[in-house]
Amino acid sequence: MPTIKKSSNKFESFFGRKPTGEAFAPGRINLIGDHLDYNNCPVLPFAVDLRISAVFAPREDNRICILDSLARRGQRSFDAEAYIAPYETSDWGNYPKAAVQGIVADQIGGGRRFKGFDAVIESNLPSAGGLSSSSAFVVLTGMIFCVVNGFEYTSLEFSSLMAAAERYVGTQGGGMDQTACINGKNGKVLKIDFNPLHCRSFSVPDGVSFVIADSLIKAQKTEAAMALYNSKPIESRMATAILNRRLPAVLKTACPPFSLGDLTAEKLGATDNEIDRAVFSVLKEGGYTYEEAAAAAGMSVDELKHSCCLMSDKTPLPEPPNGFELFKRVRHVLTERRRVERCAQALETGDVETVGRLMFESHASGRDDGGFSCPESDSLTEIARAAGALGSRQTGGGFGGFNVSLVRSGETEAFKEKLMKDYYETYLSRMHPEISAEAKSSAVFTVIPSDGACVRQMSI
């Protein structure tokens, strides 16, 4: 477990002075609503009691020097200046660089000079598991940089700034993770709406707990995994380009959708059924080639590729062997958005059975339509169902990582034992004998919705 005392000692022995401040930033679990945020559709996450923490002290120059307390990952140093060149893709130093670059770009003007800081960081937040350790790290360093420079933002302004800043690392995500990390509340699930950004919190109903279980299939943001993740926002933008051209005529509305989040009764003046009929008459089932998608959007292939389909290395997403499944992707977004709304209502009335059912439905949608699950997460969900969970689903960006289950509080220990036996000892040992017993033994735990990120001066 990270402790401030251990980090402070480490800070003193490495930097030769005492730290003056401490900060922490939690990870998050998304209860329901994945691959929605970058489509401007609402999500229902909560910050968890697992976090990255830091002790720090300002510097007189503009250097930022961050040491990983376990020395597993060593140290990274860079200057806060107008252009901060990234390290290689997937280097952990890109997360603090992302935060600082985002704030510098926002604050630049008047020949401002920035103050740097020294910091020692510690974490008990698993990485590459869909718990947003990356956003927690971005938010943590962003907060410290603001404090040492006296920059002030409201929590929503800072959430938007950090969401935009994190794209520096190459992911094309939305703002769920940073917003949950910054605005989390003890005992509450957050409903985050985008465009405009807005948070509302819902109490966790009495008598239920959240158990999270690592599928132990890593969703590391390497070049390949990043391309897999980014293919989802790209497909959403392709579908939007087609709907933008064709939907107004079919629905007889003057409002073209600028994102899939605009496909609502409120914005289009049509019922959900009318919207579904119109959307799925415009999009064809089955895969689109680039030529077909461009023709449907009224663009040349080059225009489509350059306006919607570029990956972080600026090359267009390669066409999948069976084409782009735009119909399924949009069906995931439309149905998941409605599940989020119904889930928020069910939380409000304490209807835990409905919350659970929606979680199972959400998992199936991510698997069948979203295309971001994997066989191990699917099995884990079914094993959780058989073990008595009210609901269970893969959480976060997907392709593995953690599942979240909603379990009656009196049943959590029996539930965890059942997962241990049926998923880790039986299924996973058969499918992935290379995964160590040690990794399996610490893969399941109960999490508590917790407060968001915080930075403060240390009491001396």
Cα–Cα distance measured from residue 35 to residue 275, given in angstroms and rounded to the nearest whole number: 20
Q: Determine the interface stretch with ligand NG1 among 71-79, 130-138, 140-148, 204-212 (rule: CB under 6 A).
A: 130-138
Nearer to ligand NG1, 302 or 368 (CB): 368
Which residue from 24, 32, 35, 355 is in contact with ligand NG1, where contact means CB under 6 A? Answer: 35
Q: Per CB under 6 A, does 171 bind ligand NG1?
A: yes
Nearer to ligand NG1, 37 or 378 (CB): 37
Element (H, E) at 65: strand 63-68
Binding residues for ligand NG1, rule CB under 6 A, total 17
Taking the complex as a whole, the smallest distance from the CB of residue 37 to ligand NG1 amounts, in Å, to: 5
Which residue from 396, 400, 449, 452 is in contact with ligand NG1, where contact means CB under 6 A? Answer: 396
Cα–Cα distance measured from residue 416 to residue 392, given in angstroms and rounded to the nearest whole number: 13
Q: Per CB under 6 A, does 97 bind ligand NG1?
A: no
Give the C-alpha distances (Å, rounded to integers) separating 88 from 73, 81, 314, 432: 15, 19, 15, 30
- Using only C-alpha atoms, the chain has a radius of gyration, in whole angstroms, of 22
> Do 39 and 330 touch, CB atoms closer than 8 A?
no
Nearer to ligand NG1, 69 or 134 (CB): 134
Give the position of tokens 């704030």.
103
Which residue from 102, 130, 391, 452 is in contact with ligand NG1, where contact means CB under 6 A? Answer: 130
Is residue 262 part of the annotated active site? The answer reads no
Nearer to ligand NG1, 2 or 397 (CB): 397
Q: What is the DSSP string of 321-373?
A: TT-B-HHHHHHHHHHHHHHHHHHHHHHHHT-HHHHHHHHHHHHHHIIIII---
Q: Per CB under 6 A, does 336 bind ligand NG1?
A: no
Q: Determine the interface stretch with ligand NG1 among 169-177, 201-209, 259-267, 432-440 (rule: CB under 6 A).
A: 169-177
How open is the CA angle 270-272-275, to the nearest 5 degrees? 65
Q: Per CB under 6 A, does 234 bind ligand NG1?
A: no
Q: Per CB under 6 A, does 174 bind ligand NG1?
A: yes
> Do 455 and 143 touch, CB atoms closer than 8 A?
yes
Cα–Cα distance measured from residue 85 to residue 8, given in angstroms and rounded to the nearest whole number: 30
Q: Per CB under 6 A, does 37 bind ligand NG1?
A: yes
Which residue from 132, 159, 264, 381 is in contact with ligand NG1, where contact means CB under 6 A? Answer: 132
Q: Per CB under 6 A, does 177 bind ligand NG1?
A: yes
Beta-bridge partners for 121: 54, 68
Q: Determine the interface stretch with ligand NG1 among 70-78, 116-124, 168-176, 290-298 (rule: CB under 6 A).
A: 168-176
> Do 155 and 183 touch, CB atoms closer than 8 A?
yes
Q: Per CB under 6 A, does 397 bind ligand NG1?
A: yes
Q: Which of 37, 118, 177, 214 is catalytic?
A: 177
At 163 the three-state DSSP class reads helix
Q: Which residues are catalytic?
A: 177
Q: Rule CB under 6 A: which residues touch ligand NG1?
A: 30, 34-35, 37-38, 130, 132, 134-135, 166, 171, 173-174, 176-177, 396-397
